[in-house]
Amino acid sequence: MRPKVIRKYDKKIVVPEGGVIDYGESLSKKISTPGLEHMVEKILISRGCLAKRIRALAKKIVHDYRRAEAIQAIVILKGATIFSADLIRAIYELNGPPIEIDFIRASSYKAEAESSGKVEILITLSDNIAGKDVLILEDIVDTGITLNNLKSYILRQKEVKSLRICSLLDKPSRRQQPIEIDYIGFEVPNYFVAGYGTDYAEHFRYLPFVITIKPSFLEDKL
């Protein structure tokens, strides 16, 4: 299937099998991770598409938080770092409220393609989030296990003023636990994705676009 050219970024984008590109951008960009190129199937979401959708998400967040004194962002390590950095700066560019940034790290995937179903808190919050308008920033929601665990964990720590969730990617076909996501960048098909913060066995996080991994490398783990 050919990639789709997206022109409107102000609503959730359902990514087709062929991926999405912004007008005029070619998918022939080099994916250069020496020795690992053969694992990559294709670019699923181009950098132009990511940039435009992130600006649209930022616009919606700035509108929704127009009465907030500040936003307490909680970035979920490691996957959400790249997306969060771009989103937080887009919110600033659109004159949004100041943003305090904290981090939390949970891990369920380890170095495997399949979720273990268990979530470990590896790094916990350092800010006092009591009474704050909390915005959890995630890269991808797959089974929903990580976010459900983290949401309960965060709510157990302190009484927050509000809590919303923003995820760049959503893979609803894999959901095992329901979770309400307030802001979704792209709904993706059931591919193993990597790049733009997300990884395959710690590889590819640095790529500025989202790729898919060839199913032959996943050994029926999808």
DSSP string, 152-206: HHHHHHS--SEEEEEEEEE-GGG-SS----SEEEEE--S--EEBTTB-BTTBSTT
The single residue among 142, 168, 184, 188 that binds ligand PRP, judged by CB under 6 A, is 142
Nearer to ligand PRP, 128 or 173 (CB): 173
110: amino acid identity, one letter: K
Beginning with the edge strand found earlier in the chain, give each strand of the sheet holding 120-123 in spatial order: 13-14, 183-187, 162-170, 133-141, 71-77, 99-107, 120-123
Tell how strand 162-170 and strand 133-141 pair up: parallel
What is the rounded distance in angstroms from the CA atom of residue 138 to the CA atom of residue 154?
14
The single residue among 48, 113, 143, 158 that binds ligand PRP, judged by CB under 6 A, is 143
The single residue among 107, 164, 172, 217 that binds ligand PRP, judged by CB under 6 A, is 107
39: amino acid identity, one letter: M
Quick check: 162 binds ligand PRP (CB under 6 A)? no
Quick check: 145 binds ligand PRP (CB under 6 A)? yes
Quick check: 46 binds ligand PRP (CB under 6 A)? no
Nearer to ligand PRP, 21 or 186 (CB): 186
Q: Is 199 a catalytic residue?
A: no
Catalytic residue among 133, 142, 170, 199: 142
The single residue among 22, 133, 139, 170 that binds ligand PRP, judged by CB under 6 A, is 139
Q: Is the dihedral of CA 13, 18, 19, 20 positive or negative?
A: negative
CA distances to 5, 205, 213 from 115, rounded to whole Å, are: 32, 18, 16
Quick check: 33 binds ligand PRP (CB under 6 A)? no
Burial class (CB in 10 A: 0-12, 13-18, 19+), 137: buried
Quick check: 108 binds ligand PRP (CB under 6 A)? yes
- Closest distance to ligand PRP from the beta carbon of 107 (Å): 4
Contacts with ligand PRP by CB under 6 A: the residue count is 18
- Using Cβ positions, the residue closest to ligand PRP within the complex turns out to be 79
The single residue among 92, 109, 153, 217 that binds ligand PRP, judged by CB under 6 A, is 109
Residues marked active site are found at 142
Point out which residues bind ligand PRP (CB under 6 A).
Answer: 76-79, 107-109, 115, 138-146, 199
